[in-house]
Amino acid sequence: MPTIISRTSFQLPTPPSTSPPMTSRRLSSATTVVMTPPSPTKKIIPWRPPGSWEMPDIIHETWKQKQLLLPKQPTPPPENKLVKPPNMSSPKVRWVYVGKAPDLFPLPPPIRKPPKRHAEFDSKLRKVLPRPKILDVNPKDYYTGTEQVGSGANGAVIRAVKKSNSLPSIQRKQQQQQQKPSKSSCVAIKRCFIEDHDTHHHSYVLRELRIMGCLSHDNLIQLQEACLYDDHLWMAMELMACSVFGLLFNTTVGLSEAMTIFIAKECLQGLVYLHSKNYMHRDVKCENILLGHQGQVKLADFGLATPLTIQNSSRLGTAKWMAPEVVAESPYNENVDIWSLGITMIEMMDRVPPLYYLENSTEIYREILYGKPPTFNFATPSTAMVNILEWILNADADDRPMAKDVLTNIQQFIDQDHLKCAKKSDLASVVQQVFPIHH
The residues annotated with a catalytic role in the active site are: 283
> What is the spatial distance between Cα 308 and Cα 402, in angstroms, rounded to a whole number?
14
CB 227 within 8 A of CB 139: yes
Structural element, H or E, at residue 370: helix 361-370
Rounded to whole angstroms, what are the CA distances from 150 to 220, 245, 347, 386, 411? 17, 11, 19, 32, 32
Q: What share of the chain is helix, strand, coil (3-state, %, to 5)?
A: 35, 15, 50
CB 250 within 8 A of CB 301: no
> What is the spatial distance between Cα 354 and Cα 291, in angstroms, rounded to a whole number?
23
Q: At what angle do helices 199-214 and 119-128 cross, to 10 degrees?
A: 30
Structural element, H or E, at residue 160: strand 156-162
The beta strand positions in 65-154, using DSSP E, are: 143-151
Q: Alpha helices, DSSP H only, in 11-130?
A: 58-69, 119-128
